[in-house]
């Protein structure tokens, strides 16, 4: 532990007692002298306090800089808490706690900047039965000094130790100079900020380079963060690997570094490995340059080529005994028993890479790509430059075992991560405020990459129901957040890895693609990537590039910029609903915009944030929300669902009036063609009636499937928010008895799923169940239980959705089919090799059979879960195991999810909670478990941003009674100080629960009365 700056160097020889030379004092005199000294010290302290100049230090901050520190040593943004001095998203009374936030600046000083790292690492315990899972290493960092400073401040994780006795700072000699060593006075750490400060005896000179040399050691942890260990079993033997996950702030847990995205540097990495294992890193291994590790028999050094400039969070290394397959410079790695499952990734990966080279107009910058399927991985995948890491289910596909959706997931995740090689890696956000530049773009263009290699899937059409409509529900909360949000502390950074950054980011980029046109959009992206290559950027840099291209090509008026438009979508949370009120006599329409919220503004508030752009706000603030909205529409007399260029703009105007282009009074109009705009649309009652009539008379000919999906999703959610009566919204669904396409059914099932979840524990559920069974009767007969390999992707998805709903609603034929097929599987002599259940129907069949079965059915599935070698099959079984109606089985299942060596991997704990919570009997069990064993869950899972947040969301999603809401509020209050990365997830869970309680009071009886009207049901069968 570093010595404190305030420690006094006391000389013990100053005063002696006993028979020595000098003079003696009596006890009384000694007491008097001691009191006099104490009085002098006190007086001096008071004088200094009152008259000395004051230096402000942020609350909770260590006094890291000594008196010689220059002003430039403080992080950018000053001492007042983050860039620009804005408060964190937790400012104010969070969760009703009255918590005062620490105004802590976590940004590094800019007086010393990294230029190149020379990193050597030795991970221990990988080849030993008595494993000591640790690592040690050393790093030499060549730094550029931008201003005089007497310290070097960088990041070191709190679970790492720097060997202070072996540290050095050397000035790099210029021509004719000698190397000069700068004396290290001491080391200091700031635990909360992960800062490690090397204090020096003299100033470093501005404009010079120095080499900082540090030795360090740490634990090869099992928390799936930083430098961590993973394992798998082969031939009844546990095999260990070491791997990394650094995004966003965990590179510091592997080696001392300047762990911010803008602080790019080159990396020269050397990894020690046991003989018989392989080491992989971002760059290719230098061939023929391996060497033995001194004093470690059987260990070898692998040295890798120096990298291009990149951020620390993209550094990666893996030590494993995996097998490799290659297609030129593109390689895949997996367990020996799973390497055949990597063939599809190896097929689509290079094709997608080639597509993005053409799309971005920039050649892939590195000499190779490695993709590795890891047994333990917290997220889905990570875009480390040149070494992309995945959880197995996101990279491996086994034909005949995995489902069509598994295959599509592999393709989309591979596409997402390869897109990052340009958007995120080549050009990186300057700070996590613009995380969405990474994730939003990758989440959008992943669809374009898959469309290029699998066009028959029509995946760009799926975007609307899978991304845009999905994220609407989260962004309609007051506890949402802007896409571009100021963050500081790592907990705050972790919070924004959510659907807003990914799904909303992707949706507004898709909107921009359409209003600029694809040609202009692509040319602007190419300009941006080329001008900012190997650098960092903000969203304004992107806006500038796109604006220049749009003006050059005439896509925008000269007085309109992309920034002007897009700031309204990125700097404020939420989205608008555009209400269309037609004047049928004059053939005009008044369009009005307002923020769409799932509940009345300001109702039942449980939290108030200080900054309106970063969280909760009051009712008046919501009135200030205005957007630049691209307006497109088509009508019955001139149907055109292809043109998505804006016909009009709402330029942050509360309302506009359209005076041309509208149809005659007796024709319908529909706005937001192909739902390319990120907004909902409401209509006057007459237009709704005409649209409903059109759906029921001839929906297929005149309304395309995307806009039918839009009408269903908009209507049901407008009613949920109290902006449309439920009679009209439910009337929109009546035509579904004739609907045959997937997209409208997907939108309907998602929106009607909310009503299902609210009614399922009430006496009125029977009426809803009858209505739904009557709606799906025709489509159930049409799709059937026969799954053909020749079926198109959307046909398969439609069948899976329809059968899932039919069986969950107790459709007799559906249930009996599932039970029969499951029992036939159970009777097989070798069920692990001869499963004849169609892969696409496994989810429905497994869950239904376990739901209607006993412990025997559950135990059989558990045995299959333990035995299978296919990750996607494990996922299906994990989900199905949560379908049991035996509460003790569900309780045990939850217990196992947070127990070492139970058979459930740590990465899958959230999946278990989601599976149990999807069961109407299991959701309260899941929340009670979380509430009662919160400390155990957090300790077991660590601060994994994905796992904890997902557990909170799934275990609270169906709460709709005052009693449940009170329990949730108590949980939030009890743990307000230790929620960490789950803080925003709990806030959102509270708001959703409050909205659900209000919904039940307002809408329950209305819906039951509508469902009770016999004509609504009987008319479907007439």
Q: What is the pLDDT of residues 859-901, one digit of tens each?
A: 999 999 999 999 999 999 999 999 999 999 999 999 999 999 9
Burial class (CB within 10 angstroms; exposed 0-12, middle 13-18, buried 19+) of 1007: buried
- How confident is the prediction for the chain on average, in pLDDT? 88
pLDDT tens-digit map of 95-113: 433 334 455 889 999 999 9
**Which value, to the nearest 10 degrees, does the dihedral of the CA atoms of residues 1004, 800, 415, 378 take?**
70
> In the chain, what is the straight-line distance between the N-terminal and C-terminal CA atoms, in Å?
81
Render the burial of 566-596: b for 16+ CB within 10 Å, e for the rest.
bbbbbebbbbbbbbbbbebeebebebbbbbb
pLDDT digits (tens, 9 = 90+) for 958-987: 999 999 999 999 999 999 888 877 888 899
Residue pair 204/147 in contact by the 8 Å Cβ criterion: no
Full 3-state SS string of 603-670: CCCCCEECCHHHCCCCHHHHHCCCCEEEECEEECCECCCCCCCCCEEEECCCEEEECCCCCCCCCCEE
Range with lowest mean pLDDT among 73-82, 450-459, 992-1001: 73-82
Q: What is the pLDDT of residue 949?
A: 85
Q: What is the pLDDT of residue 620?
A: 57
CA gap 588, 657 in Å, rounded: 7
Digit-coded pLDDT (tens) for 400-433: 999 999 999 999 999 999 999 999 999 999 999 9
CA–CA distance, 750 with 743 (Å, rounded to integer):
11
CA distance 803 to 596: 33
Tokens found for residue 746: 């997907």
* pLDDT given for residue 943 in this prediction: 60
Instruction: Extract the tokens encoding 889.
Output: 């089985």
Cβ contacts of 343 within 8 Å, gap of 6 or more: 325
3-state secondary structure 429-465: ECCHHHHHHHHHHHHHHHHHHHHHHCHHHCHHHHHHH
Q: Answer yes or no: is pLDDT of 78 > 90.
A: no
Give the neighbor-by-neighbor strand order of the sheet with 209-219: 180-182, 160-171, 209-219, 134-145, 112-124, 266-274, 299-303, 291-292
pLDDT above 90 covers a percentage of the chain that reads 79
Q: What is the predicted pLDDT for the residue at 977?
A: 85
Q: Is the pTM value of this prediction over 0.85? A: yes
More confident residue, 833 or 601: 833
Report whether pLDDT(461) > 80: yes
Give the chain's length: 1022
Six token digits for residue 363: 């050649």
> Is residue 750 over pLDDT 80?
yes
9 band by pLDDT with thresholds 50, 70 and 90: very low
Catalytic residue among 188, 417, 594, 991: 417
Q: Which of 259-273, 614-628, 902-916 has the lowest mean pLDDT?
A: 614-628
Q: Could you confirm whether 454 is annotated as catalytic?
A: no
Query: Tell me: the pLDDT tens digits for 639-667?
Result: 889 899 999 999 999 999 999 999 999 99
pLDDT tens digits, residue range 707-741?
A: 999 999 999 999 999 999 999 999 999 999 999 99
């Amino acid at each position: 532990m570093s010595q404190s700056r305030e420690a006094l160097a006391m000389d013990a020889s100053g005063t002696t007692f006993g028979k020595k030379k000098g003079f003696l004092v009596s006890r009384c005199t000694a007491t008097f002298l001691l009191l006099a000294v104490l009085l002098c010290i006190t007086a001096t302290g008071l004088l200094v306090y009152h008259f000395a100049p004051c230096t402000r230090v942020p609350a909770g901050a260590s006094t890291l800089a000594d008196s010689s520190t220059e002003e430039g040593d403080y992080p950018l943004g000053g001492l007042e808490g983050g860039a620009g001095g804005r408060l964190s998203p937790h400012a104010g009374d969070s969760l009703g706690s009255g918590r005062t936030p620490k105004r802590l600046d976590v940004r590094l000083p800019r007086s010393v900047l990294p230029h190149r790292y020379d990193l050597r690492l030795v991970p221990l315990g990988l080849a030993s039965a008595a494993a000591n899972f640790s690592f040690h290493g050393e790093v030499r960092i060549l730094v550029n000094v931008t201003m005089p400073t007497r310290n070097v401040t960088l990041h070191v994780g709190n679970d790492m130790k720097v060997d202070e006795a072996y540290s050095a700072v050397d000035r790099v000699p210029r021509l004719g100079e000698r190397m000069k060593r700068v004396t290290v006075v001491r080391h200091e750490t700031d635990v909360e900020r992960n800062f490690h400060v090397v204090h020096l005896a003299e100033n470093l000179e501005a404009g010079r380079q120095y080499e900082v040399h540090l030795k360090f050691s740490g634990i090869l942890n099992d928390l799936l963060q930083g430098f961590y260990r993973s394992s798998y079993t082969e031939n009844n033997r546990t095999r260990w690997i070491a791997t990394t996950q650094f995004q966003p702030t965990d590179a510091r847990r592997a080696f001392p570094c300047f762990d911010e995205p803008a602080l790019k540097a080159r990396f020269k990495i050397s990894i020690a490995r046991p003989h018989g294992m392989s080491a992989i890193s971002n760059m290719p291994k230098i061939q023929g340059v391996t060497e033995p590790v001194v004093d470690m028999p059987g260990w070898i050094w692998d040295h890798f080529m120096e990298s291009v400039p990149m951020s620390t969070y993209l550094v990666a290394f893996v030590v494993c005994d995996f097998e490799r397959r290659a297609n030129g410079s593109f390689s895949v790695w997996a367990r020996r028993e799973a390497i055949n499952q990597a063939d599809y990734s190896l097929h689509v990966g290079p094709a997608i890479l080639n597509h993005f080279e053409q799309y971005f107009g920039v050649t892939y910058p590195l000499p190779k790509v490695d993709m590795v399927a890891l047994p333990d991985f917290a997220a889905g995948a990570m875009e480390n430059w040149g070494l992309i890491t995945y959880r197995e289910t996101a990279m491996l596909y086994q034909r005949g075992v995995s489902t069509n959706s598994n295959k599509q997931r592999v393709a989309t995740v591979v596409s997402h991560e390869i897109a990052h090689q340009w958007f995120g890696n080549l050009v990186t956000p300057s700070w996590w405020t613009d995380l969405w530049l990474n994730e939003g773009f990758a989440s959008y263009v992943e669809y374009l990459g898959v469309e290029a290699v699998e066009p028959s899937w029509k995946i760009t059409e799926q975007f609307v129901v899978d991304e845009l409509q999905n994220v609407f529900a989260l962004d309609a909360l007051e506890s949402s957040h802007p896409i571009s949000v100021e963050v500081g502390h790592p907990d705050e950074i972790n919070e924004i890895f959510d659907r807003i950054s990914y799904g909303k980011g992707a949706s507004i980029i898709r909107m921009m693609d359409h209003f600029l046109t694809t040609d202009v959009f692509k040319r602007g992206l190419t300009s941006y990537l080329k001008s900012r290559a190997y650098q960092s950027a903000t969203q304004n840099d992107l806006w500038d590039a796109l604006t220049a291209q749009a003006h050059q090509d005439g896509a925008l008026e000269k007085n309109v910029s992309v920034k002007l438009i897009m700031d309204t979508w990125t700097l404020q949370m939420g989205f608008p609903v555009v209400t269309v009120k037609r004047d049928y006599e004059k053939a005009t329409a008044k369009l009005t915009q307002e923020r769409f919220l799932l509940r009345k503004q300001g109702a039942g508030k449980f939290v108030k944030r200080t900054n309106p752009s970063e969280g909760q706000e009051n009712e008046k603030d919501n009135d200030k929300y205005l957007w630049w909205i691209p307006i497109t529409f088509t009508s019955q007399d001139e149907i055109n669902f292809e043109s998505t260029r804006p016909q009009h703009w709402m330029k942050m105007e509360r309302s506009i009036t359209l005076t041309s282009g509208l149809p005659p009074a007796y024709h319908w109009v529909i706005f937001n063609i192909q739902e390319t705009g990120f907004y909902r649309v409401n209509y006057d009652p007459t237009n709704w009636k005409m649209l409903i009539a059109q759906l029921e008379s001839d929906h297929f000919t005149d309304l395309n499937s995307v806009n039918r999906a839009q009408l269903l999703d908009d209507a049901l959610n407008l009613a949920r928010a109290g902006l449309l009566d439920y009679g009209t919204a439910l009337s929109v669904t009546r035509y579904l008895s004739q609907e045959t396409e997937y997209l409208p059914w997907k939108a309907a099932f998602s929106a009607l799923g909310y009503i299902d979840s609210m009614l399922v524990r009430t006496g009125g559920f029977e009426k809803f169940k009858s209505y739904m069974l009557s709606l799906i009767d025709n489509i159930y007969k049409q799709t059937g239980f026969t799954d053909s390999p020749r079926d198109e992707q959307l046909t398969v998805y439609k069948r899976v959705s329809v059968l899932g709903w039919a069986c969950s609603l107790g459709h007799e034929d559906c249930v009996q089919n599932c039970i029969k097929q499951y029992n036939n599987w159970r009777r097989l002599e070798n069920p692990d090799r001869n499963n004849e259940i169609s892969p696409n129907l496994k989810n429905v069949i497994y869950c239904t059979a376990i739901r209607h079965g006993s412990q025997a059915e559950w135990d059989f599935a558990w045995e299959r879960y333990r035995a299978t070698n296919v990750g996607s099959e494990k996922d299906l079984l994990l989900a199905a195991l949560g379908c049991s109606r035996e509460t003790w089985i569900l309780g045990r299942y939850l217990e196992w999810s947070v127990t070492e060596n139970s058979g459930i991997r740590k990465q899958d704990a959230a999946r278990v909670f989601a599976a149990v919570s999807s069961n109407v009997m299991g959701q309260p069990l899941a929340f009670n478990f979380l509430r009662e064993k919160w400390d155990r869950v957090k300790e077991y899972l660590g601060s994994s941003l994905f796992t904890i947040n997902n557990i909170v969301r799934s275990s609270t999603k169906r709460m709709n009674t005052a009693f449940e809401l009170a329990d949730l509020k108590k949980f939030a209050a009890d743990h307000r100080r230790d929620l960490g990365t789950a803080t925003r997830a709990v806030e959102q869970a509270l708001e959703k629960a409050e909205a659900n309680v209000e919904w039940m009071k307002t809408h329950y009886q209305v819906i039951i009365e509508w469902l009770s009207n016999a004509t609504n049901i009987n008319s479907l069968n007439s």
